[in-house]
Structure 1
């Protein structure tokens, strides 16, 4: 095989590989000998089919396989002999005009990883802002949980329903005087004031009593999920079965015991532990940002353009998605365009930091153990239906790039911890408000290079301009849907965001890094 370099510019390399026809022919011959023992053909004993007949029947396929193998071997040899570390998969192209029996000329283009300068990790100084849990905040979370656990009791016969009461009814909905599909239900309960039903419905329940019959008028929202009802006026004939008033729970030991705990103090301790975990997370986020800023400011080297382009593509795709959920998507995209150059610089910084952290981790002996990798695989597999999990694990086993993407976040965190251990850290008391304000004015977070190397959770404040996707307005469903259960009957009523999992029995969410060719995830 002949190799001629055609480009050597920065991190870009290009070569012309010439694979002699005789080498390809030798590979075809070897393949014929390999498959001959398994070949069967009428008139010949198994394994005794002549080589010329095998060539006649399977020649084109064998020729193509041999050519592909020769190209793959040639590119592998090129990379190994030159000790290249490709940044991305090399581009390989067979020149026009190739015919079997002729030499094959192959154009190979690639970008190589740079020689990262020996990282300077000495003398790093960081502040660790520490925050004590706020007892008032813990009380607020306990009270929010208690408020969700209220029960309901039957109201006196003449009691008129008010906001906060639970009304149980039968209903019949009509549009243009005619019942509509799905518009009938019995024993539906709704707590007045929750806003769960279509606008205006709950307001007209105020003042009803058990035994009342009432007709109310509403208009379905223009964006209602049933197109045949969207924007249409409707009436509902109601028969009020029952009115119940709320009986608030009390934050005491008895309440804690209903959650399977021993005392109110134990419940407060769970919330306190969660608050401490949240505060520690904020502290770590701030320290990590400062660490990455320091590394970025003190290290500069060229990075492969293809990696930057791939990273920029990920950033842009995310922003496009978020802009699509804005009130004015066109305006949001126009705003993005103004900052396109800034986002490209962000992509370059991320790639550089990813390569730098990888170098630091290798020099410091940072590794992901097999047990840790097994844990990551098991977590990721939980996102799939049981029948697909084995196939997903098999996919990971055969895809080094997917494995690298899966372990990248953990590897990055371990490298950051390693750098923390080397840094001079000064503790300084702070408040949650101060810490959140500092983080807000710093740079936000998004996953970094999707290149198989370790990624960086980093992006500048400008990237926050696109709003998060809007939640679907499920609460605007008409009462034609399934009967809702009052909070009192829901033993595991939805708790506030910060309820400890020990109370709610919630499971930790698995890491979400699906592989591109992996089985489709299970539906939520």
Structure 2
């Protein structure tokens, strides 16, 4: 086998590989010898089929396997000897298309090598860690928010009171289509909050302005995609009786509110809120510090970037942003999207930092454990209630999905590793200033 370099410019590499016919024939014969003891054929005892007959029967298939193994072996040996790591799957093509059995095989292989990444002096990186602590005002705001979400309803006392948006009406209702009652279209003492959009579109609006003891006829049309096919797209009429009219009342901040949220008393609830806010502030501060680290790495380290990776990333960025600007287009049936210079600049930064973090993680032997992967899959599975097991099995069988879940965990662990080595100073700030710092990150994205 011969491997000859034909291109070496920057990160671009190309090689000509020749696998001689004698080597292929030897591989085929080795495979036949290995298989012979187990082969059964009519007219011969097991293991006694002549080699010539075996070669005639199975030679062509084994020749194909031998060709692939020889090419794969040549590539593997090349990467082992050269130390090159391809940025993307190498392009391999057979050049003697008129090949016939007994000829040598000529193959061209080309790829872009991953660049040599210079060593990083992490101790020279200076970072600022923002520290914000929840104060009484922040805890009080959180308590008020909980009280709003736990609102109660009390009867309106004025006889002239009418139903308004946000009020709760307690109704009996009976629905019919073409004068016929339908299953599931009736209820008694049903508490309905107007404006909640929990009923068919147009239903709740027709109860606005109603009074206690009113009889209201609500006329609506079922949506064309309604889950009950026999009702989909049909006009319906609901006879409603207003049995109670209630206004929302904010819950009081006391021990009873705390118990609604699983706390023993108000002090315990305040403690839980403080812990939650501390975790939120810590997560926000980490995001700000991580951006500072990535900016520092971007400035401190320089190396060549594989054009194919940059082009692929720029295309993905352009495609994603186009869909964000055109949310009505759900599929990919749209004109080709050409990346702009801004897309390419962002792609260069992402590719550069991705390669750098990957190299730092490799040298530091950073690894994502099975337990961390399992936790990530479980967190993702919660978005599919009732289908958690199916999602778990899907991820187990999908390498690309596993990589999507593994990548951010790996990146965060490498970031933590570098932060541990860096020169980090803490700075105490207010919650509002921390919020501004986070908003500044979003403006830069």
Aligned to 2:423: 424
Asked if 1:9 corresponds to 2:9, the answer is: yes
Q: Deviations over 1:395-442 (max 9, x none)?
A: 47xx6x876654332222222222222333332232333333333334
- Cα distance in 2 for residues equivalent to 1:182 and 1:9: 75
Q: Describe the shift of the 1:324–1:132 C-alpha distance in structure 2 as closer, same or farther (beyond 3 A).
A: same
Aligned to 1:340: 340
Shift of 1:322: 1.9
Instruction: Give the alignment of 1:221-232 within 5 angstroms.
Output: none
Gaps of 5+ in 2: 382-386
Aligned to 2:19: 19
Shift of 1:74: 1.1
8 Å Cα contact 1:169-1:239 kept in structure 2: yes
8 Å Cα contact 1:37-1:48 kept in structure 2: yes
8 Å Cα contact 1:366-1:415 kept in structure 2: no
Q: Describe the shift of the 1:225–1:421 C-alpha distance in structure 2 as closer, same or farther (beyond 3 A).
A: same
Asked if 1:52 corresponds to 2:52, the answer is: yes
- Cα distance in 2 for residues equivalent to 1:322 and 1:100: 54
Q: Any idea what SS the aligned residue of 1:42 has?
A: coil
- Cα distance in 1 for residues equivalent to 2:72 and 2:172: 72
Q: Any idea what SS the aligned residue of 1:415 has?
A: helix
Q: Any idea what SS the aligned residue of 1:84 has?
A: coil
Q: Describe the shift of the 1:166–1:50 C-alpha distance in structure 2 as closer, same or farther (beyond 3 A).
A: farther
Q: Any idea what SS the aligned residue of 1:287 has?
A: helix
- Cα distance in 2 for residues equivalent to 1:109 and 1:434: 52
- Cα distance in 1 for residues equivalent to 2:112 and 2:181: 64
Shift of 1:374: 3.1
8 Å Cα contact 1:161-1:205 kept in structure 2: no
TM-score by length of 2: 0.83
8 Å Cα contact 1:209-1:240 kept in structure 2: no
- Cα distance in 2 for residues equivalent to 1:304 and 1:184: 63
- Cα distance in 2 for residues equivalent to 1:356 and 1:379: 24
- Cα distance in 1 for residues equivalent to 2:311 and 2:171: 59
Shift of 1:181: 8.0
Aligned to 2:372: 375
Shift of 1:64: 0.8
Shift of 1:229: 9.3
Aligned to 1:185: 186
- Cα distance in 1 for residues equivalent to 2:435 and 2:256: 36
Aligned to 1:168: 171
Q: Deviations over 1:228-266 (max 9, x none)?
A: 99999x563323263253565432113323443211111
Shift of 1:217: 4.4
Q: Deviations over 1:362-381 (max 9, x none)?
A: 44x35226xx3333145326
Q: Any idea what SS the aligned residue of 2:109 has?
A: strand
- Cα distance in 2 for residues equivalent to 1:67 and 1:422: 49
Q: Any idea what SS the aligned residue of 1:291 has?
A: helix
Q: Describe the shift of the 1:241–1:42 C-alpha distance in structure 2 as closer, same or farther (beyond 3 A).
A: farther
Q: Describe the shift of the 1:276–1:413 C-alpha distance in structure 2 as closer, same or farther (beyond 3 A).
A: same
Q: Deviations over 1:427-486 (max 9, x none)?
A: 223233333333333466xxxxxxxxxxxxxxx43xxxxxxxxxxxxxxxxxxxxxxxxx
Asked if 1:140 corresponds to 2:141, the answer is: yes
Aligned to 2:301: 299
Q: Name which of 386, 391, 398 aligns with 2:389.
A: 386
Shift of 1:29: 0.8
Gaps of 5+ in 1: 445-459, 462-524
- Cα distance in 1 for residues equivalent to 2:34 and 2:66: 12
**Largest Rg, 1 or 2:** 2
- Cα distance in 2 for residues equivalent to 1:269 and 1:252: 14
Aligned to 1:476: none
- Cα distance in 2 for residues equivalent to 1:75 and 1:380: 35
Instruction: Give the alignment of 1:274-293 within 5 angstroms.
Output: 274-293=276-295
- Cα distance in 1 for residues equivalent to 2:183 and 2:22: 75
Aligned to 2:40: 40
Q: Any idea what SS the aligned residue of 1:98 has?
A: coil
- Cα distance in 2 for residues equivalent to 1:179 and 1:211: 25
Q: Any idea what SS the aligned residue of 1:45 has?
A: coil
Aligned to 2:384: none
8 Å Cα contact 1:211-1:239 kept in structure 2: no
